[in-house]
């Protein structure tokens, strides 16, 4: 069975600084997708970034980038120049056959 | 373009009752997935509906059932409610082609269910 593990229940970062959220996953598949979702207090789940497992290049979306280590089954999210609006729960997730499996989340606090 | 909507926003039920939650998919989408998010946890996949048929199910008992209508909106029904059913229920819609293994899912704001 596929599992997703986020070992950091909470993290804090100073505004404008950089923070990295960790995620490991377990799967026997070779073709899959990995995601980071953001869930602010409004509860709406928002896709932050997506990585296709067969692509070696790490995905980047503006201030958000990932470090994808397929052999180690590691998928961390780096947020650069942190902003107050980045405060939220962040979920690492795995997708195969259109079913998403989420980790337990990391609550990110941004300190002004 | 209208996003995914869910109703009601909040709901309070008592143990043993039945509940129906509703989800309207984004325009042009044909697939709806339902997730249960307990407090402090990540969402868990309940099931997915594609073209009005169930297309995969997570580890949930049969008292969790669903429907998808010709307009691709969907309902989640839960019978014989238990205290542990208290959670945020999220639906997500996507546009799926038969050969796809991945389609971006767009989430609604959720329905908060409290079972007393």
Segment A30-54, tens digit of pLDDT: 888 999 999 998 888 999 999 999 8
Contact residues on chain B for A50, CB-CB shorter than 8 A: 104
As a whole number of angstroms, the distance between CA A94 and CA A27 comes to 9
Q: Inspect the interface and report whether the beta carbons of A44 and B108 lie closer than 8 Å.
A: yes
Q: Residue B101's pLDDT is what?
A: 65
Residues in B whose CB is inside 8 Å of some CB of A read 31, 33, 35, 40-45, 48, 55-56, 58, 88, 90, 92, 94, 96, 100-105, 107-110
Given A96, A99, A102, which is nearest B48 (Cβ)?
Answer: A99
As a whole number of angstroms, the distance between CA B116 and CA B29 comes to 35
Residue A55 half-sphere exposure toward CB, CA atoms < 13 A: 11
Q: Percent of chain A, pLDDT > 90?
A: 82
pLDDT (tens digit per residue) in B36-75: 999 999 999 999 999 899 999 999 999 999 999 999 999 9
């Amino acid at each position: 069975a596929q599992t997703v593990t986020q070992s950091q229940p909470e993290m804090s970062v100073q505004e404008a600084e950089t923070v990295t959220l960790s995620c490991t996953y377990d799967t026997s598949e070779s073709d899959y997708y990995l995601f980071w979702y953001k869930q602010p207090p409004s509860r709406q789940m928002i896709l932050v970034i997506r990585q296709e497992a067969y692509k070696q290049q790490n995905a980047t979306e503006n201030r958000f980038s990932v470090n994808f280590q397929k052999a180690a089954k590691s998928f961390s999210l780096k947020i650069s120049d942190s902003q107050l609006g980045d405060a939220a729960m962040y979920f690492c997730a795995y997708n195969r056959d259109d079913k998403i499996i989420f980790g337990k989340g990391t609550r990110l606090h941004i300190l002004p | 373009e209208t996003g995914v909507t869910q109703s009601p926003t909040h709901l309070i039920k008592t143990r043993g009752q039945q509940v129906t939650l509703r989800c309207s998919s984004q325009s042009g989408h044909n697939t709806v997935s339902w997730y249960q998010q307990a407090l402090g946890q990540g969402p868990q996949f309940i099931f997915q509906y594609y073209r009005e048929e169930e297309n995969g199910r997570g580890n949930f008992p049969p008292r969790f059932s669903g429907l998808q209508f010709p307009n691709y909106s969907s309902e989640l029904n839960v019978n014989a409610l238990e205290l542990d059913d208290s959670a945020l229920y999220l639906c997500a819609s996507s546009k799926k082609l038969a050969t796809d293994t991945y389609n971006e899912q767009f989430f609604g704001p959720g329905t908060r269910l409290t079972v007393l």
